[in-house]
């Protein structure tokens, strides 16, 4: 994933100063911004940010449409939601709702729809795989096994996403990296300004069951 060039932040500040009511200050800021844009070839990044700003599909905190609601969320489902969200330019977080907890998605409608489709597809298959490999095993064993499957699926999703972006960015008609970076940056800014999320806790699992899950993940097909 390509990160925005460091000079881009400086250009944003100069462009903001270019709207100053002081004509001299505005002209000087505009000239400096243009010089940086040309020196660092930033026009493509600025165009991508503009397209994000004008996007008719805005970022939404979809807490009114949670992905899952339960009195006790299973850890593997929280991990799966985070994995699918990251792969599709979304954020997944857990929210207390009375005596229940919910998994909430943050992102654009089209990206959240992709997460929901993958979630619906994978939850049943991971549960079936766990039941097939772990008959008579404890709940802790199944939890670790399923997290192992999710970890392996996450690697496949990241690999497939990298290949797809490379293929698209190699064409002359599509500029993928600046637009995707602008989308990611807008998502992180939304989360930082409006959600105030805290970091999750680490998860301890049965290492043997986790490894069995990773090995069994080859039988999980991705749509």
Tell me the sheet residues that pair with 103: 68, 94
Predicted confidence at residue 128, as pLDDT, reads 94
State how far the Cα of 4 lies from the Cα of 116, in Å rounded to an integer: 29
Q: What pTM value is reported for the model?
A: 0.67
Q: What Rg value do the Cα atoms of the chain yield, rounded? A: 22
CB atoms closer than 10 angstroms to residue 121: 15
Q: Is the pLDDT of residue 174 over 50?
A: no
Among 22-26, 84-88, 217-221, top mean pLDDT goes to: 84-88
Q: Is the pLDDT of residue 69 over 60?
A: yes
Q: Please tell me the least confidently modeled range out of 42-46, 87-91, 93-97.
A: 42-46
């Amino acid at each position: 994933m390509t990160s925005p060039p460091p000079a881009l932040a400086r250009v944003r500040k100069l462009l903001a100063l270019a709207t100053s009511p002081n004509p001299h200050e505005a002209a000087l800021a505009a000239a400096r911004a243009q010089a940086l844009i040309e020196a660092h070839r930033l026009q493509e990044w600025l165009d991508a940010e503009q397209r994000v700003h004008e996007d008719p599909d805005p970022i939404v905190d979809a807490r009114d449409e949670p992905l899952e609601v339960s009195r006790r969320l299973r850890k593997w489902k929280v991990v799966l939601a985070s994995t699918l969200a990251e792969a599709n330019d979304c954020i997944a977080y857990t929210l207390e709702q009375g005596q229940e907890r919910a998994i909430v998605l943050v992102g654009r409608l089209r990206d959240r729809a992709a997460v929901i489709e993958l979630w619906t597809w994978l939850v049943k298959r991971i549960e079936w795989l766990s039941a097939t490999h772990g008959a008579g095993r404890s709940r802790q064993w199944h939890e670790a096994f399923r997290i192992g499957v999710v970890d392996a699926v996450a690697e496949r999703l990241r690999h497939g996403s990298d290949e797809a972006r490379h293929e698209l960015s190699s064409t002359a008609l599509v500029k993928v990296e600046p637009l995707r970076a602008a989308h990611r940056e807008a998502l992180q800014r939304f989360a930082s300004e409006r959600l105030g999320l805290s970091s999750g806790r680490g998860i301890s699992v049965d290492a043997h069951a986790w490894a069995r899950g990773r090995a069994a993940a080859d039988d999980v097909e991705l749509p």
